Amino acid sequence: MQEAIAQILSYVWGVWRFRWLALVVAWVIALGGWLFVQQMPEAYVSTARIYVDSNNVLRPLLRGLAIQPNVDQRIAMMSRTLLSRPNLEKVMRMTDLDLEVQTDREKEEFLTELRGAISLYGDRGNSSLYSIEVLDADRDIAKRITQALITVFIESGLSDKREVNTGAQDFLDQQIADYEQRLVEAESRLAAFKQRHVGVLPGEGGGFYARLDQAARELSAAKLQLREMENRRRELQRQIDGEEPVFLSSGISASDSPLDARIQALNAKMDALLAKYTERHPEVRQIRGLIQELEAEKRAELESARANDYTGAYAGLSSSPVYQGMRAMLGETDAQVAELRVRVAEYEARVQALNDKVNSIPEIEAQLKQLDRDYQVIASQHQELLQRREAAKLSEDVQQNASDVTFRVIDPPFVPSRPSEPNKLLLNTLVLVVALGAGAALALLASLIRPVVVDQQSLTKLTGLPLLGTVTLIPTPEQSKRDAWGLVVFSSLVAVLMVAFVGLNIGQVLMLS
């Protein structure tokens, strides 16, 4: 500890040895620094504060109905883009500063200086509060630039909102038109597929296999009815064949043939069928063919009766009510047999057609599911886009009629009457401190370059020999007088330097006031 103190004292003594050098350096640096500070241009700082209120009362009411934009993110983007080139050019035009530049180079330099002179920052305690500072040598220009920045900041918020809404609407309209086209194409593909595979699609009449089972049951029932009716016809024909010789012995009438009852029964049956079907229906065509065959048979019987002179026998046969009733029942049975044959043929064709399609049913069902799934996906996307467009329209209406962001100028542009920069009082003080420090440092450097022995310890350390004693230097009166005069001059010069510093600062204060 003693060694450290001794070392420090030796440094102080070294500086004191070269005190005149330190004083000269301090004077030179102080005078040069103060002159430089006085020549520095003064500038004014214009300040303003803006409050951005994003807590709109409609936001909680419209949650789920309208699109809620990220207002905080948009405000942050606005603050970052305020110093963009287009905004700075707009500020130049609003403040007529563009009239002061003539060339593109001057314009670029002016924009660079303007960007460096503007500061925008948010309040740490309140993220909705923004401060704007503008530095300029002209007090009026600084205020105009600040006002222009406030206007640009507010307008950019409103214009960005409109541009975002317009872009979102255009994008949604384009997507909806695209999905409408895809939806129409999907509907066309689905409809065409259903038309090509009508009757075999799942869900039609209980399903394909249910229809196949129903057709098989109907075919079995029709075949059973056909067999029953054929048996009945054979029995009637047998009875008629067994009774006809007896009736013929009494004679028949050529003018009233027994085939008339059958023809009448078939005509009645055909009339009933024509009430339900057309001429081209298989049952109608079958019965009409039977009628033609019976009429031909009747004509043949009449011709045979005339040829064999059996007119009397036919007259007796036609007069028998039992025989005529049996013939009528036979004709009706023939009509029912024909009808059942046509029905059986139709059911057989249906069953065969369904059996032919059994192997292709799984593939058809898979294709139908794929087409239906594609249609449902496109339809759901289309519906969701429609809902989003309605939400976007509602959001646009809300933003046009009730803004989601409110700008309020808390502090309008203000410029103090005194220049804000530079702080010449502080700079003068710094110049003095630097001057004194530089002088002391140079004196210390000189003492280190030209060292001397100042105490016993340094001498012992230098020679390495033991020290027996010291001799005190007693100056002469002339030396003491000269040293005292030098100390007075040195102190006076230091005092003059301090007085110059104080006077310079007082003058600066008086100039600002």
User: What pLDDT is recorded for position 408?
Assistant: 84
Nearest to 65, CA basis, from 403, 401, 386, 392: 392
On whether the CB atoms of residues 306 and 254 are closer than 8 A, the answer is yes
Spatial neighbors of 365 by CB under 8 A, at least 6 apart, are 201, 202
User: What pLDDT is recorded for position 321?
Assistant: 75
User: What pLDDT is recorded for position 512?
Assistant: 65
> Above 50 in pLDDT, residue 263?
yes
On whether the CB atoms of residues 130 and 50 are closer than 8 A, the answer is yes
On whether the CB atoms of residues 211 and 205 are closer than 8 A, the answer is yes
Nearest to 215, CA basis, from 360, 352, 357: 352
Nearest to 189, CA basis, from 374, 410, 62, 414: 374
Query: Confidence band (pLDDT; 50, 70, 90) for 250?
Result: very low
Backbone CA torsion sign across 208, 214, 217, 222:
negative
Q: Is the pTM of this model over 0.75?
A: no
> Above 60 in pLDDT, residue 404?
no
CATH 3.30.1890.10 fits 44-175+390-414, yes or no: yes
pLDDT digits (tens, 9 = 90+) for 298-310: 777 777 765 554 4
> Above 90 in pLDDT, residue 458?
no
Spatial neighbors of 264 by CB under 8 A, at least 6 apart, are 328, 331
Sheet holding 406-414, edge to edge: 118-122, 129-136, 44-53, 406-414
Q: Give the start-to-end residue ranges of the domains of the chain.
A: 2-40+422-512, 44-175+390-414, 208-359
End-to-end CA distance of the chain: 52
Residue tagged 């009637």 (tokens): 236
On whether the CB atoms of residues 53 and 128 are closer than 8 A, the answer is yes
On whether the CB atoms of residues 63 and 161 are closer than 8 A, the answer is no
